[in-house]
Structure 1
């Protein structure tokens, strides 16, 4: 193996090591409990956040339930679901702690 080949392989391995060290940005996603909370909040308890959190199994439902309603990811999904529910409904629609258009 020539000197140029060794230098090239050394450079390639150095680049590969640098690539492995770089971490990709973490994309936030909903947990299974949060998905279950959304389902319970919209369909089972019809807007009672504390009761929905209790059904899902959170340890402190009185604190976690209302906080989850305002969690950025959960809130986005709730709004999207309510927009789908609101398609045939006229006027403001109230679900639990949130009022939608």
Structure 2
């Protein structure tokens, strides 16, 4: 007597599809796990470079202020009562190419 094996092929195909699906998910998870730290490191490097660039611009503005006025900007400019009116950051605005903001400052 021969045993009928018609239904066995469907079961094998289903099992293979499930196994390959799980393996694909595992591989995708590993790839994502490897890429996430790399993306975070690239973002941190870009932020670090932006901060360094901002500091260079501020340093250059302070040098240009000194070349123009012969001194570095004071920490603040007091009003009539001796209270701080605005700080050195406002004074260097024209030297960081922010004339439009400096013109609006009151």
Q: What is the TM-score normalised by the length of structure 1? A: 0.34
Larger radius of gyration: 2
- Where relative contact order (Cα < 8 A, 6+ residues apart) is larger, the structure is 1
Q: What is the TM-score normalised by the length of structure 2? A: 0.32
